[in-house]
């Protein structure tokens, strides 16, 4: 992408390939790779390809809202969090949508139940997306995505 787009320290994004219409992401220039909240993580094979199936709570404090996701595994990496703890994580690639931009990013999966944000947008994704961060501002691309979950009724268990 030739032109740069300014973003705030937190933004609403979508991960359409994963079936996530909206998720609030903290922009984290200290993190190399983006991270997504995931639980019930299970590895499986689809047509010989190693995949990972997982669930997410896309909104904090809304454990009744559960989305099922699946993606090919591209790697497993030892990741050190901000507290210095190391964890072996699955790595996937998915397209992110932010404002009028869409591009593929690498994402590691981990349980972020105790964190304020369900997603961290790492610096590699920012570089690849041509993004510049204004740390004094937030939601420069709007808050319209957050209304997605008010319009849709999601069920905790498929088939209910």
Identify whether 159 is part of a domain. no
Give the per-residue pLDDT at 143. Answer: 86
Identify whether 73 is part of a domain. yes
Give the per-residue pLDDT at 152. Answer: 53
Q: Please, what sign has the CA dihedral across residues 56, 22, 119, 115?
A: negative
Give the per-residue pLDDT at 9. Answer: 97
Q: How far apart are CA 102 and CA 39, in angstroms?
A: 26
Give the per-residue pLDDT at 151. Answer: 55
The predicted model scores a pTM of 0.87
For the stretch 97-126, pLDDT in tens is 999 999 999 999 999 988 899 999 999 999
Number of domains within the chain: 1
Identify whether 158 is part of a domain. no
Q: How many CB atoms lie within 10 A of CB 62?
A: 11
- Under a CB-based contact definition with an 8 Å cutoff, are residues 115 and 10 in contact? no
Identify whether 155 is part of a domain. no
Identify whether 65 is part of a domain. yes
Identify whether 126 is part of a domain. yes
- In angstroms, the Cα distances linking 142 to 13, 56, 99 are 10, 23, 8
CATH number at residue 68: 2.40.70.10
Identify whether 160 is part of a domain. no
Query: Residues 6 or more apart from 108 whose CB is under 8 A from it?
Result: 33, 34, 35, 36, 77, 79, 89, 90, 91
Give the per-residue pLDDT at 94. Answer: 97
Low-confidence ranges of the chain (pLDDT < 70): 1-2, 151-160
- In angstroms, the Cα distances linking 43 to 25, 66, 94 are 25, 19, 17
Q: Which of 117, 95, 113, 92 is nearest to 104 (CA)?
A: 95
Q: Which of 77, 117, 76, 74 is nearest to 93 (CA)?
A: 74
Identify whether 108 is part of a domain. yes
Please give the residue range of the domain that contains residue 42: 5-150
Give the per-residue pLDDT at 159. Answer: 44
């Amino acid at each position: 992408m030739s032109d740069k787009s300014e973003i705030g320290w937190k933004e609403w994004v979508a991960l359409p390939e994963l079936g996530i219409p909206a998720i609030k992401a903290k922009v984290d220039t200290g993190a190399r790779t983006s991270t997504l909240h995931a639980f019930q993580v299970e590895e499986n094979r689809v047509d010989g390809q190693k995949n990972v199936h997982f669930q997410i709570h896309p909104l904090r404090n809304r454990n009744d809202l559960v989305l099922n996701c699946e993606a090919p595994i591209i790697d497993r990496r030892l990741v050190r969090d901000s507290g210095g703890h190391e964890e072996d994580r699955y790595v996937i690639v998915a397209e992110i949508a932010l404002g009028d931009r869409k591009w593929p990013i690498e994402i590691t999966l981990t349980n972020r139940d105790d964190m304020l944000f369900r997603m961290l947008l790492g610096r590699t994704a920012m570089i690849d997306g041509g993004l510049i961060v204004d740390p004094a501002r937030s939601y420069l691309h709007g808050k319209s995505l957050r209304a997605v979950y008010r319009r849709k009724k999601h069920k905790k268990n498929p088939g209910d």
